[in-house]
Amino acid sequence: MANPTPLTYHNEIYAAGLRDKKPGITFNTLEWEALAKERLSKESFGYVWGSAGTRETDDNNRAAFKKWGILPSRLVDTEFSSLKTTLFGQEYDYPIAMAPVGVQRIFHRDGEIASASAAKREHVTYILSSATCTSTENVAKANENGSRWFQLYWPANESNDITASLLKRAKANGYKVLVVTLDTYTLGWRPSDIDNAFNPFLRADNIGVEIGFSDPVFRRQFYEQTGKQIEEDMGAAAAEWIHNLIPGKSHSWQDIKFLQEHWDGPIVLKGIQTIADAQHALEVGVQGIVVSNHGGRQQDGWVASLEVLPEIVDAVGDKLEIIFDSGVRCGADVVKALALGAKMVLIGRPYIYGLALGGEEGVSHVLRSILAELQLTLHLSGIPSVSPVHLNRSVLRRTA
């Protein structure tokens, strides 16, 4: 299917400007956060904005992008380049995807449905979190023939049959890649949520628990344990489900085998920050990693995710697909992460701000902005494509 090129967005956007037609939402990417703050409750805004401790990791993530500058080449006679990229032997229209983000109904009543619909519309891959307000099946329906992956918060060991059920449902509903998040077996120290006494899952309105509540194995186990259906004691069921997702204790490298036995597509480990762990990932035989520090939400004082990207790429980049997130805010940031060796870059908070500002339209707006700026940046820098042949470290200068 022909995909809309971001160049069209760029032309559309400028053409609208020529007709004096102002956009509903600003194109200034750094303003989305402040606008979402005005729109959301204190608790919901605190949840998305929140970071661990003094926010040093989050600050480091942003600062790391500023330590690289893009070097343009002149008199390069190219058409606007294709942004297509290939991962796991499959072609993707764009080298960005939507990071797994849970509990999206606290940001907009349409939650994951809005995001998954926008993903389809904009030809961007959607990664469904395990902690959602919408089931695996209903998100797949909203995403239709779009590209989607499934992120696993890995239920505690004794619940392996629940894990198997989650994977079976994801596979049956067209999720192509399994993303296993390793850095959130317990929630980080997030002062904004603690100050607001805010834990989205333990409220009575099914926030973040729908994949569990719609899971036949979880439902049966809850009944066996309590003699009750989930609907008879939603609070207890939510607490039980969240304990499953975030059990307070990490799995081990040996446990990856179980996932490999129950998933026949690519597996990607999210949350890798060291060469040693990237090598472990290679040894256990997964296909990719997400170099990520969870947007600084999990621990204070961590190294910037972008800072460790090049050394991890040097160590395993020819054997594993490297995906990147944490701190990406605009098209130029995407260029830098791709140039440093990532094949795909995940957009996190910005699309949630878009969701808060305008539901599906707001998410589309954010994706279109980032894609348009990504392509224009490449074009004006004389970089013909996102292929590593053209987009690599030679286009960057370390400036600090």
Ligand X SMILES: O=C(O)C(=O)c1ccccc1
Using alpha carbons, list the distances in angstroms from residue 397 to 9, 68, 71, 322.
29, 6, 7, 21
> Which positions from 49 to 88 touch ligand X by CB under 6 A, shown as an x/- string?
----------------------------------------
Binding to ligand FMN (CB under 6 A): which residues in 243-272?
Answer: 270
Say if residues 125 and 143 touch (Cβ distance below 8 Å): no
Integer Cα distance of 88 and 144 in angstroms: 21
CB of 241 to ligand X, least distance (A): 10
Burial class, 182, CB count within 10 angstroms (exposed 0-12 / middle 13-18 / buried 19+) = buried
> Which positions from 313 to 342 touch ligand FMN by CB under 6 A, shown as an x/- string?
------------xxxx--------------
Question: Which residues are CB-contacts of 266 (< 8 A; sequence separation ≥ 6)?
Answer: 87, 88, 176, 177, 178, 286, 287, 288, 321
Q: Does 181 bind ligand FMN (CB under 6 A)?
A: yes
CA-nearest of 125, 95, 100, 96 to 112 is 100
Residue 250: both structure tokens together: 């990490």
Residue 155 interacts with which of ligand FMN, ligand X, none, CB < 5 to 8 Å by class: none
Residue 142: both structure tokens together: 């909203």
H-only helix segments in 84-233: 111-122, 136-143, 160-172, 191-195, 210-213, 216-226
Integer Cα distance of 133 and 121 in angstroms: 21
Q: Is 169 annotated as a binding residue?
A: no
CB of 326 to ligand FMN, least distance (A): 4
Among all chains, which residue has been given the structure tokens 């995710």? Answer: 305
Among all chains, which residue has been given the structure tokens 């989930």? Answer: 230
Q: CB-wise, 114 or 374, nearer to ligand X?
A: 114
Q: Is 181 annotated as a binding residue?
A: yes
Q: Does 48 bind ligand FMN (CB under 6 A)?
A: yes
Ramachandran quadrant class, 314 (left: phi over 0; alpha: psi -120 to 50; beta: rest): alpha
The 10 Å Cβ neighbour count of residue 229 is: 12
Q: Does 294 bind ligand FMN (CB under 6 A)?
A: yes
CB of 162 to ligand X, least distance (A): 16
Residue 381 interacts with which of ligand FMN, ligand X, none, CB < 5 to 8 Å by class: none
Among all chains, which residue has been given the structure tokens 């053409």? Answer: 15
> Which positions from 229 to 248 touch ligand X by CB under 6 A, shown as an x/- string?
-----------------x--
Residue 208 interacts with which of ligand FMN, ligand X, none, CB < 5 to 8 Å by class: ligand X
Beta-sheet pairing, 396-398 with 148-152: unpaired
Q: CB-wise, 85 or 104, nearer to ligand FMN?
A: 104
Q: Which residue ranges make up the annotated binding site?
A: 47, 100-102, 129, 151, 153, 181, 190, 270, 292, 294, 297, 325-329, 348-349
Q: Contact residues for ligand X (CB under 6 A)?
A: 102-103, 131, 184, 208, 246, 294, 297
Binding site, annotated residues for glyoxylate: 47, 153, 190, 294, 297
Site residues (vs ligand FMN, CB under 6 A): 47-48, 99-102, 129, 131, 151, 181, 270, 292, 294-295, 297, 325-328, 348-349, 352
